[in-house]
Structure 1
Amino acid sequence: MSFSSALRRFVRGDIATDIVGRPKLWYSISALLILFSIAGLLIRGLNFGVEFTGGSVFTVGAPKASIEQVREAVDSQTGSESIVQKAGDNWRVTTESLTTDEVAQVQRHISQELDVPVNEISAQVVGSTWGGDVSEKAWQALIVFLILVVAYLSVAFEWRMALAAMVALLHDLIITAGIYAWSGFNVTPATLLGFLTILGYSLYDAVVVFDMIKEVTKPLNERSKITYSQAANQALSSTLVRSLNTTLVAILPVASILFIGSTLLGAGTLKDLSLALFVGMIVGTYSSICVATPMLVQLKEREPLYIQLRENIARREASAKRQKKAGGAVAEDGSETDLDEEEPDEADEPAEAGPSVAVKTAPGLRKQPKKGTRSSRRS
């Protein structure tokens, strides 16, 4: 089978992929990704934006100025390193918290250095208290979100599915945060919106897969011919192409914002949101298929019903093998018996019987025994 033919069959869903039967492979990949992400969080850490740490933000309308010129004009007055981002035709400069007089001084210096009118330089001061309130509200929203999700999944499905979905969500959060740390992007309120969005997207994918598994495995009983793992893998294979297509369609516009909008068009304020969405969608699709589903199967296989089902199937398979082996042995012995005990042909019976065998003949006739063979009589 050629690669193109196999790819077409896979897209149509004609080829079943054994995902449930390879949990060690998927867990190993996830462990490597999590270790990489934790290393990023410990080594580089998250770069929280001014909305969380507090500071001053200057918006400078100088499209012809370079990033070095803007940074030099600001840093020479603040005495610290600032963060400069491109925001369309403007520059967005973030510094530490400044007083009102210091803000006015920086504005005048930027106007002189970059030859920009003062009224085209806006300033905004964000207090650290406001940033702390934003962080607290974000954590509260996340906790409430997770509680509602667990409650819904436990009622709509069962606690095992809720547990598997929560592990997948934690998996997605750690990996996305780690990649965000390695990238060095600022954590802004838009980043939090992206995180909440990917959590919802990951749950959507998991719910679709779990719903199909629930439907396929519902008729299983002790007399079924397939195990829970096999039934779950069939359900996952039937939704695999659908999940991948959905993710691909959702990623395309996000990738456009991340790679084209922020790089070519200079929309720097969008890259915080787009990076979180881009990474989270990919990782969320992977976790719902390769992490949540195998974990759910491992939990379900411990139930007494499915343990008994697996044992019954194993006994039936072993019995079928024994019967097949015994049937082959009987057929082989029977053929040997037929060869050894072959009945003599009626035409040869008198010759094999010899002179000692009495053969009935017609009355008044006497049958003489043959003397020797035809060749001996000729001689």
Structure 2
Amino acid sequence: MINFAQVGNDLYTGKRSVDFIKRQKTWYALSSVLIVLALVGIFVKGLNFGIEFRGGSEFRVQGVSNSQGYEEKAQSAISTAGISGNVISTIIGQDTVRVQSEAASDRTDEARTALAKQFGVKENSVSASLIGPSWGASVSQQAIRGLVVFLVLVTIVMALYFRTWKMAVSGLVALLHDLVITVGIYALFGFEITPSSMIGFLTILGYSLYDTVVVFDKVRENTSDAFRTRRMTYSAAANLAVNQTLVRSINTTVVALLPIAAVLFVGFTLLGPGTLLDLSLALFIGIAVGAYSSIFIATPLLVDLRRNEPAVKELAKYVERHGARTRPEAPVGTPEPVAVGADATGAAAPGAARAGGGAAAAGSSAAATPRPVHKYAQAGPRNQPKRAPKSQR
């Protein structure tokens, strides 16, 4: 059985390591495929905007005992009322049918009567609402404006916090990566985009940014230490940072996805389309994609952006000449380990040299010669009590 605690500790100390940086071409290729598929879905298949964006009439038929063939019934009722265009009907909950059509304020009463007749319910069980196209256009403009303002503020804050525009660019690319793939999944599977979905998109961008900032903070700490000690290259220090935050990122993502998955299950099986389902679906897709980009995209891209900097190249040459460290550096103030049999100065004791079978003789010729032992000196520790004569024991 895998000991995850031990694996996490080994990743943090560097005993185990996943080479995320050297495999960046693999991650880039995978993301490129996902982005191409997303763009195909967005520009070829198109987005399924909700009625709040495109405008139209919405009717809800409550108390439906038999929902079989509800799509045909809804289409027939709307046509009977004299409303043309596409009709979208879905089941909400256990006994409610939602019907969306083109806006027709002068045909609302006729549509309610026809729907009540088709589904066998009273006319007061059919509710109607009208959303004008101008309101939908206003919602779209506000959503795009909010997204642009969010991205600009994120870029400025990250540049000021990390004191380098390259970290800000890497984080921004990761955010756009998450947004494009999430919206592309909506387009490919035909999920409806509503104002609740837009709220979910902005929320997942914030989550992705949070995860990326945590990783970048560790990258900055490790790379600053690498420039100071000159015992590790920039890419190796960044890779160590990703490994050190890997378990935390996975745990945070799993803990966040579990309750959202439960909400999704309830929404799909019991509640049907609605605000709760739209929001949870956007969160589930975005959080999963955001965790991927924080680990596999943001940090490798940062390393690629800084690879040709003079300081980074000079550090790589220095480490190549002198050798990289093979274990994590001990904290400041930690004494160096002393070999067994060594005295306080670090020199091997005479007894230890004899026990080594001449191994000490193979060492450096500059090593200090052991002090001669007086013939009356007692062997063993200095304060060890003398043993009584054999006759007195």
Scaled by the length of structure 1, the TM-score of the pair is 0.78
Verify: 1:131 aligned to 2:136, yes or no: yes
What is the alpha-carbon root mean square deviation over aligned residues? 1.9
Distance, in Å, in 1 between the alignment partners of 2:175 and 2:148 is: 12
Distance, in Å, in 1 between the alignment partners of 2:188 and 2:238 is: 36
Map residues 264-279 of structure 1 onto 2, 5 A cutoff: 264-269=269-274, 270-279=276-285
Unaligned runs of 5+ in 2: 325-393
Unaligned runs of 5+ in 1: 319-379
In the other structure, the counterpart of 1:97 is: 103
Task: Report the secondary structure of 1:147's partner residue.
Answer: helix
Question: Of 163, 168, 186, which aligns to 1:162?
Answer: 168
Partners of 1:34 and 1:174 within 8 A in 2 = yes
Question: Of 113, 117, 125, which aligns to 1:120?
Answer: 125
Q: 1:254 to 1:49 in 2, by over 3 A?
A: same
Verify: 1:106 aligned to 2:107, yes or no: no
Q: Deviations over 1:295-346 (max 9, x none)?
A: 111222222111111111222349xxxxxxxxxxxxxxxxxxxxxxxxxxxx
Verify: 1:40 aligned to 2:46, yes or no: no
In the other structure, the counterpart of 1:232 is: 238
Distance, in Å, in 2 between the alignment partners of 1:244 and 1:13 is: 16
In the other structure, the counterpart of 1:49 is: 50
Partners of 1:222 and 1:312 within 8 A in 2 = no
Distance, in Å, in 2 between the alignment partners of 1:248 and 1:22 is: 24
Partners of 1:191 and 1:272 within 8 A in 2 = yes
Question: Of 283, 297, 301, which aligns to 1:295?
Answer: 301
Deviates more, 1:115-124 or 1:288-297: 115-124
Verify: 1:193 aligned to 2:231, yes or no: no
Partners of 1:74 and 1:82 within 8 A in 2 = no
Q: Which has the higher helix share?
A: 1
The count of residues paired between Structure 1 and Structure 2 equals 313
Structure index of larger Rg: 1
1:262 deviates by 2.6
Distance, in Å, in 2 between the alignment partners of 1:141 and 1:243 is: 27
Amino acid at match of 1:10: V
Distance, in Å, in 2 between the alignment partners of 1:199 and 1:32 is: 21
Partners of 1:47 and 1:186 within 8 A in 2 = yes
Distance, in Å, in 1 between the alignment partners of 2:251 and 2:191 is: 29
1:76 deviates by 3.2
1:275 deviates by 2.2
Deviates more, 1:35-44 or 1:134-143: 35-44
1:7 deviates by 5.6
Map residues 67-106 of structure 1 onto 2, 5 A cutoff: 68-69=69-70, 70-77=73-80, 78-88=83-93, 89-100=95-106, 102-106=107-111
Q: 1:255 to 1:74 in 2, by over 3 A?
A: farther
Map residues 270-349 of structure 1 onto 2, 5 A cutoff: 270-317=276-323
Distance, in Å, in 2 between the alignment partners of 1:63 and 1:251 is: 34
In the other structure, the counterpart of 2:26 is: 25
1:223 deviates by 5.6
Partners of 1:222 and 1:309 within 8 A in 2 = no
1:278 deviates by 1.3
Partners of 2:56 and 2:130 within 8 A in 1 = yes
* Percent of matched pairs sharing the same residue: 42
In the other structure, the counterpart of 2:261 is: 255
Amino acid at match of 2:183: A
Distance, in Å, in 2 between the alignment partners of 1:7 and 1:43 is: 44
